[in-house]
């Protein structure tokens, strides 16, 4: 089983992309299943095959432990690992070739608490990939882009899965803006220029130092734009996921199930 975790800041498009990817894979007759790990979501743009909400009720948790909505969410996400047996059983029953895992809206609940890493180990297959969603709305300025890059790296630092970065909602960007973003990501000097042209004083110093650190690390994952709404680069994403799962070899239908 090949597993992909979709992780990103609140509203970055995780659930929508899950829906688009499932549709794309099913159209290509690939055996795919979805797992919703967000206990707080009310509506999803796809029908999850496995749903953490079947075993965890935020309303009951809030009432029982007298918690507000945020405390309720934290407790609910922390409970996921306690309920992991049922979820693992369902995953094994479906035993799909590909499992897509839609993670909780508030990224910090999943990515920056021990539960997330534990859940990822429990629900992951033999080959895991993580798709980190960078919202185009948050990374279209040089300063915003550096912020998003730092967040992506801190997610990488938690999971250490092969990671791809995508700029979501790229249909909201002009073609010129999309190209500019790509040049900033690929060329630190152009990113520095852009910072110099838009930010002054201490924020400028910090942004430049962080950008150089990111560049020095040489760890920043491959990044490309996507639009789940307009099916833009969905095939590219799938191709790159295949490369991760197959470690660079062609995707073979007969041997794609690995457990």
Ligand X SMILES: Nc1nc2c(ncn2[C@@H]2O[C@H](COP(=O)(O)OP(=O)(O)OP(=O)(O)O)[C@@H](O)[C@H]2O)c(=O)[nH]1
Name the residues that contact Mg ion, by CB under 5 A: 14-15
Choose the one of Mg ion, ligand X, none that binds residue 46, judging by a C-beta under 5 to 8 angstroms depending on kind: none
Residue where the block lists tokens 């897509």: 100
Q: According to CB under 6 A, which one of 30, 79, 172, 243 is a site residue for ligand X?
A: 172
CA distances from 256 to 34, 60, 182, 187, 253 (A): 17, 40, 32, 36, 5
Choose the one of Mg ion, ligand X, none that binds residue 144, judging by a C-beta under 5 to 8 angstroms depending on kind: none
* Contact region with ligand X (CB under 6 A), list: 27-35, 156-164, 195-203, 227-235: 227-235
* Contact region with ligand X (CB under 6 A), list: 4-12, 29-37, 184-192, 242-250: 4-12
User: Least distance to ligand X from the beta carbon of 6, Å?
Assistant: 8
Residue where the block lists tokens 């295949």: 242
Total interface residues for ligand X by CB under 6 A: 18
Which residues contact residue 80 at a Cβ distance below 8 angstroms, ignoring those fewer than 6 apart? 37, 39, 52, 56, 87, 115, 119
Question: Contact 184/151 with Cβ under 8 angstroms?
Answer: no
Whole-angstrom distance, CA of residue 14 vs CA of residue 7: 7
Whole-angstrom distance, CA of residue 133 vs CA of residue 72: 25
Q: Contacts with ligand X in 30-49 (CB under 6 A)?
A: 38, 41
Tell me if 8 contacts ligand X by CB under 6 A: yes
Residue where the block lists tokens 């809030």: 62
DSSP β-ladder status, 127-135 and 2-8: parallel
Q: According to CB under 6 A, which one of 4, 115, 163, 168 is a site residue for ligand X?
A: 168
Q: According to CB under 6 A, which one of 2, 5, 16, 159 is a site residue for ligand X?
A: 16
Tell me if 10 contacts ligand X by CB under 6 A: yes
Interaction site with ligand X (CB under 6 A):
8, 10-16, 38, 41, 105, 168-169, 171-172, 227-229
């Amino acid at each position: 089983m090949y597993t992909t975790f979709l992780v990103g800041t609140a509203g970055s498009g995780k659930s929508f992309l899950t829906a688009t990817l499932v549709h794309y894979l099913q159209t290509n007759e690939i055996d795919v299943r979805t797992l919703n790990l967000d206990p707080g979501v009310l509506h999803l743009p796809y029908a999850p095959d496995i749903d953490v909400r079947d075993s965890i009720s935020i309303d009951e948790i809030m009432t029982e432990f007298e918690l507000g909505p945020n405390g309720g969410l934290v407790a609910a996400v922390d409970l996921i690992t306690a309920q992991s047996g049922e979820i693992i059983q369902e995953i094994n029953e479906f035993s799909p070739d590909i499992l897509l895992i839609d993670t909780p809206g508030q990224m910090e609940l999943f990515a920056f608490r021990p539960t997330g890493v534990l859940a990822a180990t429990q629900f992951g297959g033999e080959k895991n990939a993580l798709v980190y969603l960078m919202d185009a709305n948050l990374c279209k300025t040089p300063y915003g882009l550096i912020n998003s890059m730092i967040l992506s790296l801190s997610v990488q630092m938690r999971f250490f899965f092969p990671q791809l970065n995508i700029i979501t909602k790229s249909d909201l960007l002009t073609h010129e803006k999309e190209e500019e973003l790509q040049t900033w990501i690929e060329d630190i000097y152009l990113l520095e220029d852009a910072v110099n042209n838009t930010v002054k004083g201490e924020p400028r110093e910090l942004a430049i130092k962080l950008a150089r650190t990111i560049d020095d690390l040489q760890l920043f994952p491959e990044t490309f734009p996507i639009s789940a709404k307009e099916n833009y680069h969905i095939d590219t994403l799938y191709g790159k996921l295949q490369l991760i799962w197959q470690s660079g070899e062609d995707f073979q239908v007969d041997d794609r199930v690995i457990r």
